[in-house]
């Protein structure tokens, strides 16, 4: 199982994201369902302009932090970029690659305790 592949139906990432089976509302779960429930700007690429986006994603980040705490043996994947023959090539950022347009890598962002903590 490759948890970084958005077509994988199991795993924490896709479960939290809310990619589901079926059509219409039945296929929207968890994170995705909130975008749909709020509607308007929250439905598309401009969702970041809606203040609700920040409240919602702060909660999603909290879920990620809780999962990390419960699964300390797991790290962000993939560690290395998928090869040219992989259907995920160029679609995802590997652990040690910089997140454009910034100079930070997912590896550097796994522990955010130097920036903030949840109460
Ligand atoms: Cu979102």
Q: How far is the CA of 39 from the centre of ligand 1 (A)?
A: 12
Q: How far is the CA of 74 from the centre of ligand 1 (A)?
A: 23
Question: What pLDDT was estimated at residue 1?
Answer: 67
Q: How far is the CA of 79 from the centre of ligand 1 (A)?
A: 24
Domain with 103, as residue range(s), is: 12-109
Q: How far is the CA of 83 from the centre of ligand 1 (A)?
A: 28
Evaluate whether residue 95 is within a structural domain.
yes
Q: How far is the CA of 49 from the centre of ligand 1 (A)?
A: 12
Question: What pLDDT was estimated at residue 31?
Answer: 93
Q: Between vectors from CA 53 to CA 5 and to CA 7, what angle results, nearest 5°?
A: 15
Evaluate whether residue 93 is within a structural domain.
yes
Q: How far is the CA of 104 from the centre of ligand 1 (A)?
A: 21
Domains identified in the chain, total number: 1
Render 19-69 in DSSP notation, one character per residue: B-SSSGGGGB-HHHHHHHHH-GGGGSTTGGGSHHHHHHHHHHHHHHHHHHH
Residue 8 banded pLDDT, cuts 50, 70, 90:
confident
Evaluate whether residue 34 is within a structural domain.
yes
Evaluate whether residue 85 is within a structural domain.
yes
**Tens of pLDDT along 77-110?**
999 999 999 988 998 999 999 998 999 999 998 8
């Amino acid at each position: 199982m490759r948890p970084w592949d958005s077509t994988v139906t199991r795993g924490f990432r896709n479960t939290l994201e809310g990619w589901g089976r079926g059509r219409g509302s039945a296929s929207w779960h968890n994170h995705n369902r909130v975008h749909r429930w709020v509607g308007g700007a929250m439905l598309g690429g401009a969702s970041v302009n809606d203040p609700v986006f920040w409240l919602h994603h702060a909660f999603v980040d909290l879920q990620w932090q809780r999962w990390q705490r419960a699964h300390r043996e797991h790290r962000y994947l993939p560690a290395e970029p998928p090869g040219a023959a992989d259907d995920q090539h160029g679609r995802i950022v590997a652990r040690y690659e910089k997140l454009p347009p910034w100079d930070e890598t997912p590896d550097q962002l796994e522990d955010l305790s130097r920036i903030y903590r949840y109460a």
